């Protein structure tokens, strides 16, 4: 394959039950010059994939879908089609992400998804192909891709296959002639098992990293320390990279969350406690039960985002990699003041943080601590190296790890509380409980209420046909949206007091735009239109108004409308204004 032209025309299948997201994602992917197929139902997606087996390169799917759990879809695709799958969700809670990892997702994106994240997805495809070719364990970063390219030329060949004889864990598939591996001349027909990063193995890795010090860590050193026969430097290198990326991503999310929390009413009380906790945490790595690291221990934010007063309370809790031991905490690279997560377990409580602080759509997951004794540490920051957006196979290789105990967050034993202390969320969501695992039964119930979205192949529009529950929006449509059926009268038993939209009250439209019918407590559009006209907001008049005037005028109109409407009878207003 031509490396330079590779990403273009990448065939992507996007699966999402949210039609708005589906439309946005499709547009984004098209702008990346990918070939996009959209689908609103997981089952339909599977059918499509089965039917056109070799016609897709990668699948992007939402996690929460009504007809089938996104993870199940992920499994199916992995088993049947062996395509790389990227999961997406508004929910960045650790347990969900872990689940994605377990089920083999090659990445986990948080909504709102940015185009730059989508631009990179081709790397997963490229990587997977290279895996198939050489069965190289762990391509981590673009650097690694470069290494791989180099290795095609036989540069790293020696180190890659040094232990191949003694390594019973590794296997290599037959080399594809097209991807001629000059280096793979030695026994490339011998199949060896992939390195499986078990919890124990990862623990060894973590221990080694701790010992060396995250700043000074390097694959070779780790490898030597780990002293695991059959493990190669490349295995370790890739694992290290994934680990770093994972931590970095979690940290970024968390720093946003912290920021939001910090802006609320956090005090500095917990500062000294945080700092003190560091040592205590490090001494209790074994307290961590099984399961994946919980974010409680890893709250990292960027120092420059914090108030000056928070400066002294810098303490970061690095995110441990998916592993039960937390010894990594202190070893996160570039951490300034690493504190143990134990300080966060049962200590930090982020409640209902306003989303206003959620400036950046979450590309990474935010770790949210639930309890914080002695006040919130005003600062838990860690300058973490900014990683590129490549996700690599960060999540992919952890599928072997045991399912985390979602009910009990990892952390020092004295900080255990049910439900999990840490929940990851993509935005400042102060969940008191972990709602990450919606029971399957609920999903089943939800599915019966969802509209039947049909899949359009190679087309832009998503056709909606509400099956069971119709929208209360009545006839919301715009002339530019083709193919959307008019949603007829709401079929729900909604009382008027609930402010349901009554299609019959559809006001006439401003200009040519047809607007949806409005709930009772809304100003009617005609009113609003009248207001606009009253202000004289014709194009010419705009010039004559100062911004302030317009602003106040508009705003007052808006507010007036809000008050006004509640006293008005909509139908009559409509009629008289637009008779």
Partner 1 sequence: MKKSLFDQASILFSGLFFLSTGYLDEQFCQVEDLQDEASPNFVEEVVTLFFKDSGRLMSNIEQALEKYPRDFNRWDAYMQQLKGSCSSIGASRMKNECMSFRDSCGQGNVEGCMRSFQKVKREHAVLRQKLESYFQLLRQAGSAGAATRPVM
Q: Within positions 39 to 98, which residues make up the interface with partner 1, using CB under 8 A?
A: 62, 64, 89-91
In the set 502, 529, 570, 573, which binds partner 1 (CB under 8 A)?
529
CA distance 330 to 400: 25
Would you count residue 8 as binding partner 1 (CB under 8 A)? no
In the complex, what is the shortest distance from the CB of residue 163 to partner 1, in angstroms, rounded to a whole number? 46
Residues 331-370 within binding reach of partner 1 (CB under 8 A): 351-352, 354-356, 358-361
Would you count residue 158 as binding partner 1 (CB under 8 A)? no
Helix axes 199-212, 233-263, angle to 10 degrees: 80
Q: What are phi and psi of 565, to 5 degrees?
A: -60, -35
In the complex, what is the shortest distance from the CB of residue 558 to partner 1, in angstroms, rounded to a whole number? 7
Q: Are the C-beta atoms of residues 276 and 400 closer than 8 Å to each other?
A: no
In the complex, what is the shortest distance from the CB of residue 353 to partner 1, in angstroms, rounded to a whole number? 8
The contact mask relative to partner 1 for 502-521 (x = CB under 8 A, - = no) is --------xxxx-xx-xx-x
In the set 143, 215, 385, 558, which binds partner 1 (CB under 8 A)?
558
Would you count residue 457 as binding partner 1 (CB under 8 A)? no
Q: Are the C-beta atoms of residues 192 and 211 closer than 8 Å to each other?
A: no
Q: Are the C-beta atoms of residues 51 and 43 closer than 8 Å to each other?
A: no
In the complex, what is the shortest distance from the CB of residue 91 to partner 1, in angstroms, rounded to a whole number? 7
Which residue has tokens 């720093």?
A: 255
In the complex, what is the shortest distance from the CB of residue 408 to partner 1, in angstroms, rounded to a whole number? 18
Closest residue by Cα to residue 300 from 262, 265, 352: 262
Would you count residue 534 as binding partner 1 (CB under 8 A)? no
Would you count residue 549 as binding partner 1 (CB under 8 A)? no
Q: Quick one: 44 or 510, whose CB is closer to partner 1?
A: 510
In the complex, what is the shortest distance from the CB of residue 545 to partner 1, in angstroms, rounded to a whole number? 9
Q: Are the C-beta atoms of residues 60 and 12 closer than 8 Å to each other?
A: yes
Would you count residue 471 as binding partner 1 (CB under 8 A)? yes
Pairing label, strands 366-368, 11-15 = unpaired
Beta bridge pairs of residue 62: 88
User: Judged by CB under 8 A, which stretch of 74-82, 128-136, 139-147, 523-531 contacts partner 1?
Assistant: 523-531
Q: Are the C-beta atoms of residues 533 and 553 closer than 8 Å to each other?
A: no
Q: What share of the chain is helix, strand, coil (3-state, %, to 5)?
A: 45, 5, 50
In the set 81, 452, 532, 577, which binds partner 1 (CB under 8 A)?
532
Q: Quick one: 38 or 284, whose CB is closer to partner 1?
A: 38
In the complex, what is the shortest distance from the CB of residue 69 to partner 1, in angstroms, rounded to a whole number? 12
Q: Please list, in sequence order, all residues whose beta carbon lies within 8 angstroms of the beta carbon of residue 99, skipping any fewer than 6 positions away.
A: 71
In the complex, what is the shortest distance from the CB of residue 101 to partner 1, in angstroms, rounded to a whole number? 20
Residues 285-314 within binding reach of partner 1 (CB under 8 A): none
Would you count residue 137 as binding partner 1 (CB under 8 A)? no
Would you count residue 36 as binding partner 1 (CB under 8 A)? no
Would you count residue 577 as binding partner 1 (CB under 8 A)? no
Pairing label, strands 366-368, 423-425 = antiparallel
Q: Quick one: 71 or 281, whose CB is closer to partner 1?
A: 71
Which residue has tokens 């602003």?
A: 551
Would you count residue 455 as binding partner 1 (CB under 8 A)? no
342's enclosing H/E stretch is none
In the complex, what is the shortest distance from the CB of residue 246 to partner 1, in angstroms, rounded to a whole number? 23
What six digits make up the tokens of 225?
Answer: 């320390």
DSSP result, 203-256: HHHHHHHHHH-GGG--HHHHHHHHT-TT--HHHHHHHHHHHHHHHHHHHHHHHH
Residues 387-446 within binding reach of partner 1 (CB under 8 A): 426-433, 435, 438-439, 442-443, 445-446
């Amino acid at each position: 394959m031509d490396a330079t032209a590779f990403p273009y025309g990448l065939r992507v299948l996007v699966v999402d039950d949210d039609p708005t997201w589906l439309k946005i994602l499709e547009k984004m992917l098209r702008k990346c010059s990918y070939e996009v197929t959209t689908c609103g139902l997981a089952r339909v997606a599977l059918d499509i994939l089965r039917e056109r087996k070799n016609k897709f390169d990668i699948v992007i799917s939402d996690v929460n879908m009504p007809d089938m759990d996104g993870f199940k879809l992920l499994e199916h695709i992995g088993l049947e089609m062996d395509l790389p799958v990227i999961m997406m969700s508004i929910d960045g809670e650790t347990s969900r992400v872990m689940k994605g990892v377990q089920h083999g997702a090659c990445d986990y994106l948080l909504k709102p998804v940015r185009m730059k994240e989508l631009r990179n997805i081709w790397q997963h495809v490229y990587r997977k192909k290279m895996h198939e070719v050489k069965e190289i364990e762990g391509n981590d970063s673009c650097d690694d891709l470069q290494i791989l390219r180099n290795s095609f030329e036989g540069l790293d060949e020696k180190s890659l296959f040094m232990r191949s004889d003694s390594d019973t864990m590794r296997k290599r598939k037959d080399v594809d002639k097209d991807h001629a591996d000059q280096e793979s001349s030695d026994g490339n027909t011998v199949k060896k098992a992939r390195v499986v990063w078990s919890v124990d193995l990862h623990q060894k890795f973590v221990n080694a990293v701790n010992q060396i010090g995250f700043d000074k860590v390097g694959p070779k050193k780790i490898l030597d320390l780990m002293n695991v026969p059959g493990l190669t430097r490349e295995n370790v290198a890739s694992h290290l990279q994934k680990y770093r990326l994972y931590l970095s991503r979690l940290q970024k999310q968390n720093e946003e969350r912290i920021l939001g929390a910090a802006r609320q009413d956090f005090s500095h009380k917990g500062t000294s406690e945080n700092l003190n906790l560091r040592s205590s945490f490090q001494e209790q790595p074994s307290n961590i039960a099984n399961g994946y690291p919980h974010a409680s221990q890893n709250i990292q934010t960027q120092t420059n985002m914090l108030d000056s007063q928070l400066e002294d309370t810098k303490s970061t809790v690095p995110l441990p990699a998916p592993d039960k031991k937390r010894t990594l905490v202190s070893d996160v690279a570039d951490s300034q003041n690493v504190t143990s997560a134990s300080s966060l377990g049962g200590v930090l409580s982020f409640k209902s943080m306003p989303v206003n602080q959620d400036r950046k759509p979450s590309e990474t997951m935010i770790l949210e601590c639930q309890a914080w004794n002695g006040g919130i540490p005003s600062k838990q920051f860690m300058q973490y190296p900014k990683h590129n957006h490549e996700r690599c196979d960060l999540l992919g290789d952890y599928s072997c790890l045991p399912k985390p105990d979602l009910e009990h967050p990892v952390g020092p034993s004295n900080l255990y509380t049910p439900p999990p202390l840490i929940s990851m969320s993509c935005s400042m969501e102060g969940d008191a409980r972990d709602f990450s695992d919606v029971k399957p039964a609920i999903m089943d119930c939800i599915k019966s209420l969802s509209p039947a979205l049909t899949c359009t192949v190679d087309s832009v529009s998503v056709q909606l046909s509400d099956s069971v529950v119709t929208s209360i929006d009545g006839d919301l449509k715009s002339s530019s949206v083709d193919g959307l059926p008019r949603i007829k009268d709401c079929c729900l038993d909604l009382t008027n007091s609930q402010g349901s939209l009554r299609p019959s009250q559809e006001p006439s439209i401003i200009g040519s735009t047809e607007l949806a019918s409005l709930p009772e407590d809304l100003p009617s559009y005609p009113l609003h239109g009248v207001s606009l006209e009253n202000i004289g907001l014709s194009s010419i008049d705009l010039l004559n108004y100062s911004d302030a005037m317009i602003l106040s005028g508009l705003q007052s109109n808006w507010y007036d409308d809000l008050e006004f409407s509640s006293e008005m009878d909509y139908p009559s207003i409509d009629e008289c204004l637009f008779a």
